[in-house]
């Protein structure tokens, strides 16, 4: 143990979407000192900054935690790969950059579940504050914020064909999924600036912010636990280059590890379900049964066809000359195919014919190889669909008291409610769209599923064998009212039963938003930064 103890006003335990934002906003006050911890390395890898290298980032040994779920009973006991960002910017440094806030109704649902102050009219100013919108000027969008939101510089013609195909199947064209309505199909906006990824680190921790004397950023530094004096958080214990040391937080510890790491850190610190903590030999500081509960995620099913042409993305000899040309083009201009995020277009629909969607689509002009498989040499197209509001809830539990051991992740996919049938209905809708006339000159043979389903039983078998995560875990330290024993934090993200301790990240979301989760996570951090500054 290093005997040298450092002190800061705030210690932030992860430099992901929330942590990067908080560190930047809190140090706008030169009299406030902040230490920002990050278990992974600095965000220097080309796989982060070059959008088309997203697959390299997702499978990188250096940039993510490489989590796996426990065997999923309803998915033929398969263990699913859960990549999560482990670098400055967190998962915003390895995601598909799709900028989606969710629906207005999502935040009313949060409010109804006890997240007071998080209704749509409450959160819209913080979405706008974070945003530097490059195209749309209206009451829903902001300009001049740290997070650049732009149209893609390159859109594959097959992605444009998807929008036409959606129209042929009765889905309206939507120019802005973050405006009045999400319904319909169109081109996704992305978190990119000048053809490069704009992660939370790129947006909030740029050179001017890093140069602030009141901000200390420590990379390759693991937060092992929060130090507790009774029920008061006093600092954190860290490990850096094999040496443990303590850092004192004079005001507060802000836990920002995300939906997996944050409950793990709390439980290692003695905050969580008392029975589980005692089972692991951990002294109970705060009995909070909701820690690690309420895990939610979007489960994805992909329908794919092989292609007749080389217009799609693949590692084939046919495509090699164009790929070389595009690589050179990107190096010199930051335009072209390497600015693609893969999921260039998509949309929202209702399988029940209602006004609000229950399914989201991501169209990819490629056939993406699964983990452990060689890169796809087959040209083709894939339409991913997932249930926006699953009923199933899972858990995070400690596997050991070693912070370096992955926790037990059990999302309990398809365990409850209408999840399976809605997943099947979404997959059917995806197949119908891919068989629209817009794809007649591209669509060759059905690739996934290998055999055309003839019944719901066939569709069920396909979903159980092939469904995967869409990388949106939330909810494991949920926000709620004090009388809700499963709530972990109050609407100011203060941990119930503890003092000087907050959790601020996707884990506090009480319910999944109907869309991607990066933008809402940043919104939460923006709002909490103002609350903290105001002494709330």
Provide DSSP, 487-520. Answer: --B-TT-BBTT-BSEEE-SGGG-SS--SS-SHHH
pTM, rounded to two decimals: 0.97
Angle formed at CA 258 by CA 257 and CA 260, multiple of 5 degrees: 95
Is there a domain that residue 129 lies in? no
Q: What is the model's pLDDT at position 374?
A: 58
Tell me 78's DSSP state.
Answer: B
Q: What is the model's pLDDT at position 178?
A: 98
Establish how many alpha carbons lie within 13 A of residue 128's alpha carbon, considering only the half-sphere containing its beta carbon: 14
Which region among 53-67, 69-83, 461-475 has the lowest average model confidence (pLDDT)? 53-67
**pLDDT (tens digit, 9 = 90+) per residue, 76-116?**
999 999 999 999 999 999 999 999 999 999 999 999 999 99
Which region among 33-47, 356-370, 467-481 has the lowest average model confidence (pLDDT)? 356-370
Other C-beta atoms lying within 10 Å of the C-beta of residue 413: 27
CA dist 490 to 353, 499, 524, Å? 36, 12, 13
Q: Is the pLDDT of residue 437 over 90?
A: yes
The pLDDT of 127-145, averaged and rounded, is 96
Where is 502: in which H helix or E strand?
strand 501-503
Where is 130: in which H helix or E strand?
helix 120-130
Of the pLDDT bands very low, low, confident and very high (cuts 50, 70, 90), residue 2 is low
Residue 35 Cα to chain centre, angstroms? 24
Is there a domain that residue 181 lies in? yes
For β-strands 6-12 and 196-197, DSSP reports them as unpaired
Of the pLDDT bands very low, low, confident and very high (cuts 50, 70, 90), residue 1 is low
Cα(24)–Cα(144) distance, rounded to whole angstroms?
15
Of the pLDDT bands very low, low, confident and very high (cuts 50, 70, 90), residue 461 is very high
Q: Which of 104, 335, 472, 492 is catalytic?
A: 472
Q: Answer for the pair 373, 364: CB distance below 8 angstroms, yes or no.
A: no
CA dist 258 to 65, 297, 383, 421, 472, Å? 12, 13, 28, 29, 10
**pLDDT (tens digit, 9 = 90+) per residue, 191-200?**
999 999 999 9
The pLDDT of 211-231, averaged and rounded, is 98
What range defines the domain where residue 183 resides?
153-187+299-387+415-466
The pLDDT of 157-165, averaged and rounded, is 99
Annotation says 141 is catalytic: no
Assign residue 105 a region (left: φ > 0; alpha: ψ between -120 and 50; beta: otherwise): alpha
CA dist 171 to 12, 161, 298, 436, 512, Å? 44, 13, 22, 12, 24
Cα(257)–Cα(262) distance, rounded to whole angstroms?
5
Peptide bond preceding 178 in cis form (omega within 30 of 0): no
Is there a domain that residue 446 lies in? yes
Is there a domain that residue 309 lies in? yes
DSSP β-bridge partners for residue 37: 218
What mean pLDDT, rounded, does the chain reach? 96
Spell out the residues 6+ positions from residue 91 whose beta carbon is closer than 8 angstroms to its own.
16, 17, 64, 84, 85, 258, 471, 518
Comparing C-alpha atoms, which of 33, 5, 39, 3 is closest to residue 240?
39
Q: Answer for the pair 365, 159: CB distance below 8 angstroms, yes or no.
A: yes
Cα(183)–Cα(428) distance, rounded to whole angstroms?
18
Q: Answer for the pair 396, 272: CB distance below 8 angstroms, yes or no.
A: no
In three-state secondary structure terms, 106 is helix
Cα(467)–Cα(280) distance, rounded to whole angstroms?
33
Q: What is the model's pLDDT at position 376?
A: 76
Is there a domain that residue 167 lies in? yes
Is there a domain that residue 200 lies in? no
**pLDDT (tens digit, 9 = 90+) per residue, 271-295?**
999 999 999 999 999 999 999 999 9
Tell me 214's DSSP state.
Answer: T
The pLDDT of 429-443, averaged and rounded, is 98
Cα(366)–Cα(335) distance, rounded to whole angstroms?
20
Is there a domain that residue 55 lies in? no
Is there a domain that residue 526 lies in? no
Phi/psi at 448 (nearest 5 deg)? Answer: -145, 115
Q: What is the model's pLDDT at position 217?
A: 99
Q: What is the CA radius of gyration of the chain?
A: 22
**pLDDT (tens digit, 9 = 90+) per residue, 370-389?**
666 656 789 999 999 999 99
Cα(447)–Cα(200) distance, rounded to whole angstroms?
36
The pLDDT of 50-73, averaged and rounded, is 94
Q: Is the pLDDT of residue 423 over 80?
A: yes
For β-strands 147-149 and 131-133, DSSP reports them as parallel
- Please give the tally of structural domains in the chain: 1
Where is 25: in which H helix or E strand?
helix 17-26
The pLDDT of 43-55, averaged and rounded, is 95
Q: What is the CATH number of the domain that holds 167?
A: 3.30.410.40
């Amino acid at each position: 143990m290093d005997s040298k103890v450092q002190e800061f006003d705030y210690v932030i335990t992860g430099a992901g979407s929330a942590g990067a934002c908080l560190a930047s906003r809190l140090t706008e006050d030169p009299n406030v000192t902040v230490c920002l911890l990050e278990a992974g390395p600095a965000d220097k890898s080309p796989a982060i900054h070059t959008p088309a290298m997203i697959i390299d980032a997702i499978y990188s040994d250096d940039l993510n935690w490489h989590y796996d779920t426990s065997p999923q009973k309803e998915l033929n006991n398969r263990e699913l790969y859960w990549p999560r960002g482990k670098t400055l910017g967190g998962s915003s440094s390895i995601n598909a950059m799709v900028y989606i806030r969710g629906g207005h109704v999502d935040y009313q649902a949060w409010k109804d579940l006890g997240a007071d102050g998080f209704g749509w009219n409450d959160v819209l100013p913080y979405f706008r504050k974070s945003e530097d919108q490059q195209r749309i000027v209206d009451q829903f969008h902001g300009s001049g914020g740290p997070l650049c939101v732009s149209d893609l510089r390159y859109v594959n013609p097959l992605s444009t064909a998807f929008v036409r195909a959606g129209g042929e199947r009765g889905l309206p064209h939507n120019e802005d999924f973050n405006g009045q309505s999400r319904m319909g199909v169109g081109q996704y906006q992305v978190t990119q600036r000048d053809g490069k990824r704009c992660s939370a680190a790129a947006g909030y921790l740029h050179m001017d912010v890093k140069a602030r004397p009141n901000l200390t950023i420590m990379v390759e530094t693991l937060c092992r636990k929060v130090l507790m004096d009774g029920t008061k958080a006093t600092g954190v214990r860290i490990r850096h280059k094999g040496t443990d040391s303590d850092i004192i937080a004079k005001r507060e510890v802000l836990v920002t590890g995300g939906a997996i790491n944050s409950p793990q850190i709390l439980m290692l610190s003695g905050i969580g379900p008392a029975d589980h903590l005692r089972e692991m030999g951990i002294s109970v500081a705060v009995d909070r049964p909701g820690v690690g509960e309420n895990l939610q995620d979007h489960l994805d099913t992909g329908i794919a066809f092989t292609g007749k042409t080389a217009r799609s993305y693949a590692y084939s000899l046919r495509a090699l000359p164009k790929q070389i040309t595009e690589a050179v083009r990107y190096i010199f201009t930051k335009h072209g195919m390497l600015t693609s995020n893969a999921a260039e277009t998509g949309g929202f629909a209702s399988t029940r014919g209602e006004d609000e969607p229950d399914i989201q689509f991501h169209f990819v002009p490629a056939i993406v190889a699964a983990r452990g498989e060689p890169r796809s040499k087959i040209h083709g197209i894939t339409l991913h669909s997932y249930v926006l509001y699953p009923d199933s809830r899972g858990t995070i539990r400690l596997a050991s008291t070693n912070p370096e051991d992955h926790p037990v992740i059990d999302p309990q996919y398809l365990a409850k409610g209408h999840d399976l049938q809605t997943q099947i209905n979404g997959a059917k809708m995806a197949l119908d769209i891919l068989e629209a006339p817009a794809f007649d000159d591209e669509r060759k043979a059905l690739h996934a599923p290998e055999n055309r389903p003839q019944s719901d039983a066939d569709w069920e078998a396909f979903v159980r064998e092939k469904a995967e995560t869409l990388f949106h875990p939330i909810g494991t330290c949920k926000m709620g009212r004090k009388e809700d024993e499963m709530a972990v934090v109050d609407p100011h993200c203060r941990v119930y039963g503890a003092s000087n301790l907050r959790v601020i990240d996707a884990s506090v979301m009480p319910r999944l938003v109907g869309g991607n989760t990066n933008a809402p996570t940043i919104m939460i951090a923006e709002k909490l930064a103002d609350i903290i500054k105001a002494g709330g």
